[in-house]
């Protein structure tokens, strides 16, 4: 296994899509022509007219920020300007840790409901229990707040206190708890043993993903003897993407050699190739990768690499098709410019953009009646102004983005388990490694 950290390339969830980005100091632009400067002069005149004559005094900062975003949104859906708060939020997401309490929550009856407190976190130590309802945060009622607003209030600087008012079943009055915020590490990988199969779910690609994956594989090996272990399921469903270097390392964890991904920009000399090194953490055991319409960006890189190099069989439905690279260029006052600068290509030279990863074995996951028509990722090709992929078609522009909460109802997972155990058979499983060399371009 060769760990690579020379690039700091990240991804984050934006609306329904994920993006991949690389921090860069930027490249000086070529001088614009005289006509361009005349247009900029007109923009300056309009800006001053608005400031001087609009019916109410406008916010200058918002005017400029919206003008910048208007320009960038005309390029593609993933280019945009991030103000200082947005840029800081992005860095927090990709770091995989933040100052907070350590609870998984949802919204129910206009209150924040605790799904579970994470072990050994401030919330767990303070006595917060699964099923508790948070009615007030620092004296502010939760009713009327959106879930994300409530979560934002609970996050904050490490070693700062927060007071929670909790409604608990069986308690005759509200419970008030003061909790001291601490660093909360978000788990990037969840794992378990499904009898004789190791199950690995990669939630997102943060700075912690590879380390979490390595620990999970070691634990599975310790729990199941090598002669009993049938293989691994790598679940990338609903994974919005993340750090590119982590996507490369996760792919490398299952590979001994071969190109993982390449990025190709505006100029041929900007092409970059990233390769795997020796060291398969799973000792060559069979691998099945699960994808669906919610698998985007970095998760598509992993699925595409393992598929093209014949290391794994991909099961599920077509992935999102987000195959563009966004360069993050620091701007003044800690803001940043997010600009699309390249496209991803799988080892065989296929573009992910607008096409996604087609599974080797298509297995649909039916939706429960209450979600019919509500859970679907339309895919990159449905986004207005998206960059046209080299092989993009209207056919199959999206697929279901749903994973049942209970494993017994998970048709895609159970299909994968049956393949690994030999209950089901398919020509695509196991893949034939001797054909990989013919499929992959030099």
Tokens of 195: 């009898």
Residue 313 pairs with which residues in a beta bridge? 288
Does 89 participate in catalysis according to the annotation? no
Q: Of 167, 73, 44, give the one whose Cα is nearest residue 383.
A: 73
Tokens of 168: 């608990």
CB 342, CB 79: distance < 8 Å: no
Residue 265 pairs with which residues in a beta bridge? 342
Q: Which of 132, 235, 252, 308 is catalytic?
A: 308
CA distance 299 to 327: 18
CA distance 382 to 389: 12
DSSP H helices, 295-364, are 298-308
Burial of 354 (C-beta count, 10 Å sphere; 0-12/13-18/19+): buried
Tokens of 337: 């410019």
Across 220-242, b (16+ Cβ under 10 Å) vs e yields: bbeebeeeebbbbbbbbbbbbbb
Q: Which of 191, 204, 297, 397 is catalytic?
A: 297
| DSSP element (H, E) containing 82 | strand 80-82
Tokens of 150: 């409530």
Q: Which of 322, 324, 350, 351 is catalytic?
A: 322
Does 308 participate in catalysis according to the annotation? yes
Helix (H, G, I), strand (E, B) or coil at 77: coil
Q: How far apart are the first and last CA of the chain?
A: 22
Three-state SS string over 40-65 comes to: HHHHHHHHHHHHHHCCCCCCHHHHHH
Does 409 participate in catalysis according to the annotation? no
Q: What is the dihedral of CA 74, 76, 81, 82, to 10 degrees?
A: 150
Count of CB atoms within 10 A of residue 175's CB?
15
What length is written for the chain?
A: 442
Active site residues: 297, 308, 322
């Amino acid at each position: 296994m060769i760990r690579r950290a020379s690039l700091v390339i990240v991804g984050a969830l934006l609306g329904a899509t994920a993006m991949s980005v690389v921090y860069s100091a930027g490249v000086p632009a070529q001088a614009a022509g005289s006509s361009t400067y005349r247009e900029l002069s007109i923009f300056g005149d309009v800006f001053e007219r608005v400031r001087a004559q609009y019916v109410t005094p406008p916010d200058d900062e918002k005017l400029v920020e919206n003008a910048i975003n208007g320009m960038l949104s005309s390029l593609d859906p993933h280019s945009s300007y991030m103000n200082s708060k947005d840029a800081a939020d992005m860095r927090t997401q990709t770091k995989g840790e933040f100052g907070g309490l350590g609870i998984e929550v949802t919204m129910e009856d206009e209150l924040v409901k605790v799904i579970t407190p994470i072990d050994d976190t401030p919330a767990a130590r303070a006595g917060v229990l699964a099923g508790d309802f948070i009615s007030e945060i620092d004296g502010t009622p939760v009713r009327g707040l959106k879930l994300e607003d409530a979560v934002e209030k609970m996050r904050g600087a490490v070693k700062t206190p927060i007071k929670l008012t909790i409604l608990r079943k069986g308690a005759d009055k509200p419970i008030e708890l003061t909790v001291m915020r601490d660093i909360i590490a978000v788990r990037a990988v969840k794992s378990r043993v499904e009898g004789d199969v190791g199950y690995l779910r990669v939630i997102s690609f943060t700075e912690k993903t590879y380390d979490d994956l390595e620990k999970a594989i070691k634990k599975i090996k310790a729990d199941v003897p090598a002669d009993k272990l049938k293989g691994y399921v790598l679940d990338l469903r609903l994974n919005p993407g993340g750090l590119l270097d982590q996507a490369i390392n996760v792919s490398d964890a299952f590979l001994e050699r071969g190109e993982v991904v390449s990025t190709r920009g505006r100029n041929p000399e900007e092409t970059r190739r990233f390769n795997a090194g020796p060291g398969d953490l799973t000792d060559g055991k069979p691998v099945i990768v699960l994808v669906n319409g919610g698998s985007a960006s970095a998760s598509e890189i992993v699925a595409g690499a393992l598929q093209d190099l014949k290391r794994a069989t991909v099961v599920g439905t077509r992935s999102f098709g987000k195959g563009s690279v966004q360069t993050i260029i620091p701007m003044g006052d800690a803001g940043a410019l997010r600009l699309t600068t390249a496209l991803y290509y799988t080892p065989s030279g296929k573009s992910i953009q607008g096409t996604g990863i087609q599974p080797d074995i298509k297995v649909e996951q039916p939706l429960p009646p209450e979600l019919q028509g509500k859970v679907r990722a339309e895919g990159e090709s449905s986004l207005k102004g998206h960059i046209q992929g080299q092989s993009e078609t209207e056919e199959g522009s999206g697929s279901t983005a749903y994973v049942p909460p209970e494993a017994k109802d998970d048709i895609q997972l159970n299909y994968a388990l049956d393949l690994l155990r030999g209950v089901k058979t398919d020509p695509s499983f196991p893949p034939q490694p001797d054909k990989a060399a013919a499929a992959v371009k030099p």
